[in-house]
Amino acid sequence: MRLNANFYVAHPFDAGCAGAFAADYNEVMPHRRRCAAILLIVCLTAAVSTSCLVRRRSIARKGGQVNQALLVADRQSLVAAIARQYDAIHDLSAEVNMIPALGTAEKNKITEYKDVRAYILFRKPSDIRIIGLYPVVRNKAFDMVSNGVDFKLFVPSRNRFLVGKNQIEVPSANKLENLRPQAFEDALLVRPIGAADKLLMENYTDEDNAFYILHEVHENGNSELQLTRTIWFNRLDLTLARQLIFDADGNILTDARYSAWKAWDNVPFPKHIEINRPRDEYAVVIDIVKMDINKGVSSEKFRLDQPEGTTLQVVGQAPATPAAPAAPPAKGRTKKK
Q: What is the pLDDT of residue 62?
A: 75
Is 213 inside a domain boundary? yes
| Mean pLDDT of all residues in 238-252 | 95
Same domain, 99 and 245: yes
User: How many angstroms separate the Cα of 48 from the Cα of each of 33, 53, 139?
Assistant: 23, 9, 71
Beta pairing, strands 116-123 & 109-112:
unpaired
Percent of the chain with pLDDT over 90: 49
Residues 35 and 139 in one domain: no
- Asked if residue 81 and residue 15 are part of one domain, the reply reads no
pTM: 0.74
Q: Are residues 225 and 296 in the same domain?
A: yes
Render pLDDT for 178-204 as a digit per residue (tens, 0 to 9): 777 888 888 999 999 988 889 999 999
Same domain, 191 and 291: yes
Residue 153 is assigned to a structural domain of this protein: yes
Range of the domain at 214: 75-314
| Cα–Cα distance, 303 to 295 (Å, whole number) | 19
49 and 188 assigned to the same domain: no
Show Cβ contacts of residue 37 under 8 Å, excluding neighbours closer than 6 positions.
none
Task: Tell me if 328 is assigned to some domain.
Answer: no
Exposure string for 116-125, b = 16+ CB within 10 A, e = fewer: bbbbbbbbee
Residues 20 and 86 in one domain: no
Are 167 and 297 within one domain?
A: yes
3-state secondary structure the chain: CECCCCEECCCHHHHHHHCCCCEEHHHHHHHHHHHHHHHHHHHHHHHHHHHHHCCCCCCCCCCCCCCCCCCCCCHHHHHHHHHHHHHCCCEEEEEEEEEEEEEECCCCEEEECCCEEEEEEEECCCEEEEEEECCCCCCEEEEEEECCCEEEEEEHHHCEEEEEECCCCCCCCCHHHHCCHHHHHHHHCCCCCCCCCEEEEEEEECCCCEEEEEEEEEECCCCCEEEEEEEEEECCCCCEEEEEEECCCCCEEEEEEEEEEEEECCEEEEEEEEEEECCCCEEEEEEEEEEEECCCCCHHHHCCCCCCCCEEEECCCCCCCCCCCCCCCCCCCCCCC
- The pLDDT assigned to 220 comes to 81
Does residue 160 share a domain with residue 19? no
304-316 pLDDT tens trace: 999 999 999 888 7
Residues recorded for the chain: 337
pLDDT the model gives residue 21: 46
For the cut 90, the answer to whether the pLDDT of residue 274 exceeds it is yes
Q: Which of the pair, 328 or 248, is modelled with greater confidence? A: 248
pLDDT tops 60 at residue 112? yes
Shared domain check, 40 and 132: no
- Please tell me whether residues 80 and 49 are part of one structural domain: no
Distance (Å, rounded) from C-alpha 213 to C-alpha 153?
A: 35
Tens-digit pLDDT profile for residues 57-71: 767 677 677 778 899
Q: Are 94 and 288 in contact (CB under 8 A)?
A: yes
On whether residue 175 sits in a domain, the answer given is yes
Q: What span, in angstroms and rounded, lies between the C-alpha atoms of 334 and 317?
A: 49
In the chain, how many domains are there?
Answer: 2
**What's the confidence (pLDDT) of residue 281?**
84
Q: Verify that 45 and 84 share a domain, yes or no.
A: no
Neighbours of 229 (CB within 10 A): 22
